């Protein structure tokens, strides 16, 4: 398991992170524990969750299930100090039933980033996890309703209190990220060291308004700001590279549809066939080979079998010729 530096901190994290989003809901506790055990046995250290995971799978769920499962695993194994633990706040949903029914806008749905909201959110996460601190705390969804100064001052207080070591941001456009960094520099607040965004081999089409997806501008920004590490969620887009029906119907694909995506999907299919591996495995290996900027690939398997399939990407070596073909593809 390779590691990469977390920003310009003294910490290195596993380049393949284990997303725990479905643990405690669609993934039962036994399978969750099995994947956690296997991940650590493979040398993995980077676990990712959030307080809102996962309210959406069904009416019996309210959020917090993933953190609670991790808390029970820590209690059973005593392995808290062996992992780099990340969780997130600001996207807690107080009314999951209304959210599942689609009756709420994002502004109405999410808790937001007010100072007291974040303080209470992290305290709740620590209780569910059964720990006294996390290693990385993200703002999960950006909140333009709350002044950035209030949010950043509250986050600085959480670091000062020892409740989190580092800070991160997720689902945020580049201009907003630069504003965050400027305010941190001006007031001496701790700046984010991790940026978690949707990122895959496909490129967002120019007409998409989905600012949660890394675009060329954001990649260029990250190349110039090495104190930020990109953590890529949805690197295989729910298996879209191996399923023509998902390529057509998956809701996430709305941000990618177009000639460029068609060309890239065709290239993945051709190269994967030549190498005798799945398209998902090829794309995940491609991401792990990226150097400018380096990035963490965040996988979120639902079953131990899916975990085993995805972790095999660590053993896929892509030579420069293959990488050149993949990188050159597009319309």
Specify whether the CB–CB gap between 155 and 118 falls below 8 A: yes
CA distance 156 to 209: 31
Among 39, 53, 256, 307, the active-site one is 53
Say how many C-beta atoms besides its own lie within 10 A of residue 14's C-beta.
23
The region, left, alpha or beta by phi > 0 then psi within -120 to 50, assigned to residue 188 is left
Q: d(Cα 54, Cα 67) in Å, to the nearest integer?
A: 10
Does the annotation mark 53 as catalytic? yes
Q: Which residues contact 93 (CB under 8 A, 6 or more apart)?
A: 52, 55, 63, 99, 109, 110, 111
d(CA 70, CA 152): 27
Phi-psi region of 16 (alpha: psi -120 to 50; beta: other; left: phi over 0): beta
CA 138 from chain centre, in angstroms, equals: 10
Contact 113, 151 (CB under 8 A): yes
Are 307 and 39 contacting, i.e. CB atoms less than 8 angstroms apart? Answer: yes
Do β-strands 295-299 and 164-170 pair in parallel, antiparallel, or remain unpaired?
unpaired
Name the residues annotated as catalytic: 53
């Amino acid at each position: 398991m390779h590691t990469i530096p977390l920003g310009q901190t003294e910490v290195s994290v596993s380049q393949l992170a284990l997303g725990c989003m479905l643990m405690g809901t669609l993934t039962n506790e036994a399978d969750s524990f099995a994947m956690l055990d296997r991940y650590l046995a493979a040398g993995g250290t980077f676990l990712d969750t959030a307080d809102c995971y996962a309210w959406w799978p069904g009416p019996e769920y309210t959020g917090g299930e993933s953190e609670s499962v991790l808390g029970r695993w820590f209690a059973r194994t005593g392995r808290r100090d062996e992992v780099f633990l990340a969780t997130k706040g600001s996207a807690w949903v107080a009314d999951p039933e209304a959210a599942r029914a689609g009756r709420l806008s994002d502004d109405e749905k999410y808790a937001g980033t007010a100072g007291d909201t974040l303080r209470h959110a992290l305290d709740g996460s620590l209780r569910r996890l059964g720990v006294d601190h996390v290693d990385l705390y993200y703002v999960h969804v950006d909140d333009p309703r709350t002044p950035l100064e209030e949010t950043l001052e509250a986050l600085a207080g959480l670091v000062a209190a020892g409740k989190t070591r580092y800070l991160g941001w997720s689902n945020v456009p580049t201009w907003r990220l630069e504003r965050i960094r400027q305010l941190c520099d001006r007031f001496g607040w701790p700046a984010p060291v991790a940026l978690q965004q949707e990122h895959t081999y496909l490129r967002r089409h120019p007409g998409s308004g989905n600012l949660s997806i890394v675009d060329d501008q954001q990649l260029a920004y990250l190349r110039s700001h090495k104190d930020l590490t990109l953590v890529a969620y949805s690197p295989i887009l729910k298996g879209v590279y191996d399923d023509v029906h998902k390529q057509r119907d998956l809701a996430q694909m709305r941000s990618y549809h177009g000639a460029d995506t068609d060309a890239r999907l065709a290239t993945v299919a051709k190269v994967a066939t030549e190498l005798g591996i799945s398209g998902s495995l090829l794309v995940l290996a491609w991401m792990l080979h990226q150097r400018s900027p380096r990035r963490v690939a965040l996988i979120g398997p639902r079953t131990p079998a899916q975990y085993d399939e995805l972790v095999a990407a660590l053993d896929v070596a892509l030579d420069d010729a293959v990488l050149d073909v993949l990188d050159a593809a597009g319309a």
